[in-house]
Structure 1
Amino acid sequence: MKLKVIIHPAEEGGFWAEVPAIQGCALQGDTFEELLSNLYEAVEGCLSVDLEQIEISKNDRVLELAV
C-alpha cells in the first residue's frame, strides 16, 4: 500500500504531517527524521481496529486484507 503524506513546517518549529487518505491521521515531529519515525506509528494506530469493541454475530466473517 502506498499513501501520500503532506508535510508542513510547524510555526513553533519542527514539522507536522497529515495523511489525506486516512481521515484524522495527523502527526508531528521536532525533526524530519522524528516525523518519519512517528509516521509509521501514526498510520498503524489510525488503521488499527479493536474487534472486541465491535459487535460481531455468528453469521459475520472477519477478513484481514493486505494491499
Structure 2
Amino acid sequence: MKTKLLTAIVHKEEDLYVAECPEIGTVDQGETIEEALANLKEATQLYLEATSVLK
C-alpha cells in the first residue's frame, strides 16, 4: 500500500472540533482534537477505499 501525506485542518465550532482534509474533501468532528483527527482519518480511509483510489 502506498502512503500519502495529507493535510488536516482543525477548528473549533461551539462545543466540537471539526477536522477537514482539503485534498480529499472529507470532514469529520469530535469532542477533542485527537478524536476529530481520528474520525477524519477513518472517514478519509473509507472514502478512498470506496472510490478505489487505494487499490
TM-score scaled by length of structure 1? 0.62
Distance, in Å, in 1 between the alignment partners of 2:40 and 2:6 is 11
CA contact (8 A) 2:19 2:37 kept: no
Name the % identity.
38
SS of equivalent to 2:19:
strand
Distance, in Å, in 1 between the alignment partners of 2:51 and 2:13 is 32
Give how far 1:50 is off. Answer: 6.5
Matched residues, number: 50
RMSD: 1.8
- Larger RCO (CA within 8 A; separation ≥ 6): 2
Give how far 1:49 is off. Answer: 2.2
TM-score scaled by length of structure 2? 0.73
Partner of 2:40: 39
Q: Which has the higher helix share?
A: 2
Moved runs in structure 1, 4+ residues, more than 6 A? none
Q: Which runs of 5+ in 1 are unaligned?
A: 52-63
| Structure 1 pair 5–50 and aligned structure 2 pair: CA distance change class (3 A) | closer
- 1:4 to 2:7 alignment: yes
Q: Which has the higher strand share?
A: 2
